[in-house]
Amino acid sequence: MRSGSRAYGGLRALLMAGAFAAVAFSSRALADEVPSVAPRRGPNEFGAWGGGSVASTTMIGEWTDFGYGQAAFRYARTLWSNDVLALDWTVDAIPLALLSLDRGGSPGSEGGPKDVVYGAGIAPIGLRLACEGLTGWRPYFATNVGFVMFEERVPATGTKFNYTWDFGVGVQIFVRDDQALTLGYDWKHISNAYSGETNPGFDASILYVGYSYFR
């Protein structure tokens, strides 16, 4: 755990720099070679992605003054597809999750000094419904469930182990037939499911960028 928001801010800056580099690279690649038909690719996807929260909500959770960022590796496999839609199963391994918050606070009283708490986890149950047949583009809706284990209780009256539920939209932009840049928005809920003394819950609006290979 690190005091203050410097660690979280550094992660967000790194992710933003990565997003800029990825967009610049994909723009150059698309300019060099734009597929004239929908790309052919294998059913297996291997990728990495990262993002950070740009806002908090109270759709389910009650905590509002916090920041969240994560980096993950993804495996996905197409379960079913036709010329219009495809249904993918996704698994995300999360080696880096950072939650910035006033651990001693409570909902409505959370404006004290912030700690950045490290965590890691996995989201093994994910589904992604994608639009097929577009030239070089693959928009999608996705959702998954999993968990994150933090090194400290979040907040201090909560637990280290927390469940996660995500849903969001995004697009895969194919820079080669078997490679794609991913840009997306994700709404993420973090909760201990009332297994701690308190369960304020955290709802984060996350922007993310990723890169994938298909085999």
pLDDT in tens, 42-91: 999 999 999 999 999 999 999 999 999 999 999 999 999 999 999 999 99
pLDDT value of position 11:
53
Partner residues linked to 186 by β-bridges: 168, 206
pLDDT value of position 10:
53
pLDDT value of position 133:
85
Domains and CATH numbers, the chain: 2-214 (2.40.160.20)
pLDDT value of position 131:
97
Phi-psi region of 208 (alpha: psi -120 to 50; beta: other; left: phi over 0): beta
pLDDT value of position 15:
53
| C-alpha to C-alpha distances, 9 to 16, 49, 69, 99, 157, nearest whole angstrom | 11, 17, 9, 11, 25
Which residues does the chain have with pLDDT short of 50?
Answer: 5, 17, 19-31, 33-34, 36
Strand blocks (E) in the chain: 2-3, 44-57, 67-81, 85-101, 115-131, 137-154, 159-176, 179-191, 202-214
SS3 201: coil
| pTM exceeds 0.75, yes or no | yes
Where do we find the tokens 């993804």? 74
Residue 72: count of CB within 10 angstroms of its CB: 23
pLDDT value of position 210:
98
pLDDT value of position 23:
47
| β 202-214/2-3 pair status | unpaired
37 class by beta-carbon count within 10 Å (0-12 exposed, 13-18 middle, 19+ buried): exposed
pLDDT value of position 108:
78
pLDDT value of position 39:
57
